Amino acid sequence: METAEIRRRWLAFFEKNGHTVVPSAPLIHDDPNLLFVNAGMVPFKPYFLGQETPLWDRATSVQKCVRTGDIEEVGKTSRHGTFFQMNGNFSFGDYFKEGAITLAWQLVTTSQAEGGYGLDADKIWPTVYEDDDEAFAIWRDTIGIPAERITRRGKLDNYWHMGVPGPGGPCSEIYLDRGPEYGLEGGPAVDEDRYLEFWNLVFMQEELSAVRAKDDFDISGPLPKRNIDTGMGLERMATLLQGVDNLYEIDEVYPVIARAAEMTGKSYGEHSGQSAGSSHPDDVRLRVVADHVRSALMLIGDGVTPGNEGRGYVLRRMLRRSVRSMRLLGYEDPCLPELLPVSLERMQNSYPELATGFDRIAQIAYAEEDAFRRTLAAGTTILDTAVARTKEAGGSTLAGEQAFALHDTYGFPIDLTLEMAAEQGLEVDRDGFTRLMREQRERARADAKGKKARHANTEVWRDLRAGGATDFRAYEELTSEATVIGLVVDGEPVQEIAPGQQGQVVLDRTPFYAESGGQIADEGIITADGVHLKVIDVQRPVKGLIAHTVEVVTGGLQTGTSVLAQVDPEWRLSACQAHSGTHVVHAALRQVLGPSALQSGSYNKPGYLRLDFAWGQALSAATRSEIEEVANLAVRRDLPVSATYMPLPKAREIGALALFGETYGEDVRVVEIGGEWSRELCGGTHVQHSSQVGALTLTGESSVGSGVRRVEAFVGMDALRHLARERAIVAELSGLVGARPDELTDRIGAMVARLKEAERELERVRKEAVAAAAGNLTEQARDVNGVTFLGHDAGDSGADDVRTMVMDLRGRLGNQGPVVVAITGAAKGRPVVVVATNEAARSRGIRAGELVRVAATTLGGGGGGKDDIAQGGGQDVAKVGEALSAVEWRVGELAG
């Protein structure tokens, strides 16, 4: 049974049993503690935490998930993977243990002909929490499983919680006995390879007041409503139903392995002689490729783009690990154009939107591979230099610090460093590298833990939210009469905010727009008798609740006070112009560049906007001009702007564009500008007609990552001010060069050409002077123990001039037996030294690299290079004479 069919049957079964089918949330989720959705219950977490009221009594989903904590272990075993899908069914105060167990049993044991999965009931082994007699009795008495096949296990295995205070409860896991060929007999407690877990039923029934560890927590009492959260691994079930050994061999993953094996000439799974529990390196690399290519496809599909931090770094790392693994398998040509379409062909059966957006996905992925191939070329040069210096110093091991710098700064993989160093006869200080990596991870964990601790204390906002949602009036009015229902200072609830304090004010209703969707929050004031507050920020700490960050200018504010909330009308107008202008620019981009130029992020504030979009190359000046013209023509046409609420499927049906990474409810707000000309899901504030955007001028275009470009623009009065500044600059330049504005390009171009020609002539004259000076210097050479030595201080000459002079002098003196030339210079106050030797000198053991280190050490710096020519530098210009003397002394010592 194909994975897509397993997924379809799951949703059909639970929908038939009264569950609402909830679409998978994007992998990017609005949770500061998570890089990605990492469990099927994450989108439902606000319901379990009591932050929001559930929309349904029963729900089911197949949720896309990514876990990256064990990314280094991917491929080494058959269990580790990054992207996976979690089938879940949820009950919010409806059915409980018996209902969850019975539904699970029906689905997995019903024959495939009747719509189930058709597992052999006699091979199913449940586990229950050690004290959960109720679940044990249901499995034994209601379902009919013999007691000897029901295993009781402790908190580490069969008790679930979120790792923070909140709901928790015992769980029951379902295993299938795969047979003696997979391991020992005796149940899940004996062998979890033979007995493979595929479903976990969590019975949320208790409120945890403190959580210290997985098996160390305090229970404060029962939950007001008992809930069910189950998770069945889709890949695990596919492994069982397709009769394969592991997740890498199912229909959604293995085709990439097969194609990669074909491209590299390798054979997967046919290697013998491996120790138990280990895999052949080729198999590991093929698994890495298959896993990471699929994960990258899904992540880019949900709007993640490669970058140097956070989600973008995880994606970049996956793509680069894929390319690196193919290289280690012997394939050095671009590989993603061959592999990504194979993954698409399998995954589009469940996620058809991948096919729709594949042009954008491929553009981003292929650009990242091209960038990494360039990184590999640059890293190879840096590695070669590090290896050469290590050898010159007589070492046999590349320092861990150098390997770490290659990995961390240049993205050069440690495996590649090990391989290439070994090819040149060096080992790598792997312990030092590992220590630095561990320190980096510990810093990251500490930072993440700190963020989690800060975020975890949401109780104050949950308590305020329990009193009802904020009546959001920002779309209808700029001024609202309201009542203060909560005050918060430094994260703690208070009854009054005093003059001079800063804190958060929660009102029963508000006209203020809370920051979201790329639009910053409104500014304005909140007033009452004798009270004046300046609103400096507006946020949603939990869904449905709006908190206003204020500075108390005069008076003191108490809870229960009636106030007048007033948005600054000029601020709002400019913000509306910018947000509507963002939609206009997005539509113009797609009209000029094509439908693959999809927005991947935006930011707008009064008078200014920026928009990130999928595109693989810089825009020409003509293209930018065309985009600007299309946008301004739309503004001039005075297109109507409207906002309509509709079900999400209807919005998708009419072609409304969604912002990647945003989570949308069942009903969404569709903002249209000129009907289908621009149709996007958006919760922001907008003008009523496109002409109200005013002037729109693009001010910049740049790269923000592989396959992603950014445009910036001013709108309204800010656009006019920008154009006025540019006009003033043009007028000033015209006056300086004595030309009309329309002549400026030609006039300045001619001036730049003449300047470059003059610079070239100066360079020619300078080189001639250097050569002439070098010719006179040969007379200063003297014999040092049979070696012709020439040392000279070239004053303020730069490194290039010094190097040219050294090589010229070595050539002039080359017929006088062993020759060493050492010259110093000091461009911009920083000393430089270059040393050169001829063949006769080197045959006597006199090497330039050693001599330049002698000089550079005297100068307070370092250096290195080859035996024939080397360069170094330092800090102390006053010691150049001393440095030359040190070189001469060392030459004499080596020659003697």
Per-residue pLDDT, averaged over 269-274, amounts to 60
pLDDT of residue 135: 96
Residue 891's pLDDT band (cuts 50, 70, 90): very high
Q: Report phi then psi at 541, rounded to 5.
A: -65, -35
Helix (H) or strand (E) holding 641: strand 641-647
Residue-level pLDDT at 227: 94
Residue 655 has pLDDT above 90, yes or no: no
| % of the chain surpassing 70 pLDDT | 95
The amino acid sitting at 613 is: F
**Interval 16-52: pLDDT, tens:** 999 999 999 889 876 667 889 989 998 898 888 777 7
| φ, ψ at 572 (rounded to 5°) | -65, -45
With a cut of 80, say whether residue 896 has pLDDT above it. no
pLDDT, average across residues 648-655: 86
pLDDT value, residue 664: 66
* Sign, Cα dihedral of 217, 220, 221, 223: negative
The number of angstroms, rounded, from the C-alpha of 288 to the middle of its chain's C-alpha atoms is 19
Cβ neighbours around 743 below 10 Å, total? 12
Which residues lie below 8 Å from residue 405, measured CB to CB, with a gap of 6+? none
> Residue 454: its pLDDT value, please?
40
- Residue 792: is its pLDDT beyond 50? yes
Q: How confident is the model at residue 69 (pLDDT cuts 50, 70, 90)?
A: confident
The C-alpha atoms of residue 158 and residue 137 are separated, in whole angstroms, by 16
CA distances from 710 to 28, 587, 597, 603, 661 (A): 20, 15, 11, 11, 17
* Mean pLDDT (whole number) for 585-600: 90
Residue 531 in this model has a pLDDT that exceeds 80: yes
Q: Are 104 and 175 in contact (CB under 8 A)?
A: no
Side-chain half-sphere CA neighbours of 498 within 13 A: 0
pLDDT digits 0-9 by tens, 231-241: 999 999 999 99
Best CA proximity match to 369, nearest among 293, 298, 311, 304: 293
Q: In this predicted structure, what is the pLDDT of residue 380? A: 76
Top pLDDT among 7 and 663 is at 7
Structural domains for the chain: 3-251 (3.30.930.10), 255-365 (no CATH), 469-567 (2.40.30.130), 572-725 (3.30.980.10), 778-895 (3.10.310.40)
Q: Give tens-digit pLDDT for 797-812.
A: 888 888 888 988 898 8
How far is the C-alpha of 773 from the C-alpha of 429, rounded, in Å?
Answer: 47
Q: How far apart are CA 589 and CA 604, in angstroms?
A: 17
358-392 vs 281-301: helix axis angle to the nearest 10? 130
| Average pLDDT score, the chain | 89
Q: Which residue has the higher pLDDT, 681 or 765?
A: 681
Count each helix (H run) and each strand (E run) in the chain, helices first.
25, 35
Q: 189-198: string of b/e by CB count within 10 Å (b at 16+)?
A: eebeebbbbb
| CB-CB contact of 24 with 41 (8 Å) | no
Question: Helix, strand or coil for residue 299?
Answer: helix
Instruction: Specify whether the CB–CB gap between 61 and 22 falls below 8 A.
Output: yes
At 271 the pLDDT is: 64
> Which pLDDT band, with edges at 50, 70 and 90, does 400 fall under?
confident
42 by DSSP, 3-state: which?
helix
pTM attached to this predicted model: 0.69
Percent of the chain clearing pLDDT 90 (strictly above):
59
Q: Please name the residue ranges forming H helices in 393-458.
A: 400-410, 414-423, 430-456
pLDDT digits (tens, 9 = 90+) for 453-497: 443 356 788 889 888 899 999 999 999 999 999 999 988 899 999
Say if CB 303 and CB 319 are below 8 A apart: no
User: With 80 as the cut, is the pLDDT of residue 408 above it?
Assistant: no
Choice among 248-262, 421-435, 515-529, 654-668 with the minimum mean pLDDT: 654-668
- Element at 204 (helix H, strand E): strand 195-213
Q: Which regions of 449-518 does DSSP assign to beta strands (E)?
A: 471-472, 479-489, 492-494, 496-497, 502-507, 509-510
User: Cα–Cα distance between 604 and 584 in angstroms, integer?
Assistant: 13
Q: Give the residue-averaged pLDDT of 376-392.
A: 80
- Write down the residue that tokens 């800010």 correspond to: 718
Lowest mean pLDDT among 58-72, 428-442, 528-542, 641-655: 428-442
H-assigned helices in 173-280: 234-241, 254-264
Decide: 292 and 253 in contact? Cβ < 8 Å.
no
463/175: higher pLDDT: 175
Give the orientation angle of helix 414-423 with respect to helix 358-392, to 10 degrees. Answer: 40
Query: pLDDT by residue (tens digit) across 857-888?
Result: 999 888 878 889 999 888 888 899 999 999 99
Angle between helices 400-410 and 414-423 (to 10 degrees): 130
Residues 117-168 have pLDDT tens digits of: 999 999 999 999 999 999 999 999 999 999 999 999 999 999 998 887 889 9
Tokens of 151: 């295993």
CA distance 22 to 88: 10
Question: What tokens appear for 230 in the block?
Answer: 């189950």
Q: Which helix (H) or strand (E) holds 12?
A: helix 3-16
Question: Terminus-to-terminus CA distance in the chain, angstroms?
Answer: 83
Q: Binding site annotation covers 686?
A: yes
Q: What is the pLDDT of residue 665?
A: 66
Higher pLDDT, 540 or 444: 540
Main-chain dihedrals φ then ψ at residue 153, nearest 5 degrees: -135, 160
Q: Does pLDDT of 268 surpass 50?
A: yes
**Mean pLDDT of the region 205-211:** 90
Q: What is the pLDDT of residue 646?
A: 92
Burial readout 143-155 (b: 16 or more C-beta within 10 A, e: otherwise):
bebeeebbbbbeb
Burial class (CB in 10 A: 0-12, 13-18, 19+), 648: middle
pLDDT at 501 over 80: yes
Does pLDDT of 709 surpass 60?
yes
Per-residue pLDDT at 368 exceeds 80: yes
pLDDT at 447: 56
User: How far is the C-alpha of 826 from the C-alpha of 843, rounded, in Å?
Assistant: 31
- Which sign, positive or negative, has the C-alpha torsion 192, 197, 201, 204? positive
Reading the block at residue 204, the tokens are 């949320």
* Tokens 């609830």, located at residue: 493
Better-predicted residue by pLDDT, 566 or 595: 566
Dump the DSSP string for 711-760. EEEEEHHHHHHHHHHHHHHHHHHHHHHT--GGGHHHHHHHHHHHHHHHHH
Q: Which pair of structure tokens corresponds to residue 451? A: 């963020």
**Residue 125 phi, psi dihedral angles, 5° rounding:** -125, 110
Higher pLDDT, 308 or 830: 830
Q: What is the pLDDT of residues 84-120, one digit of tens each?
A: 999 999 999 999 999 999 999 999 999 999 999 999 9
Quickly state the pLDDT bin for 9 (edges 50, 70, 90). Answer: very high
Residues 6 or more apart whose CB falls under 8 angstroms from that of 752 comprise: none
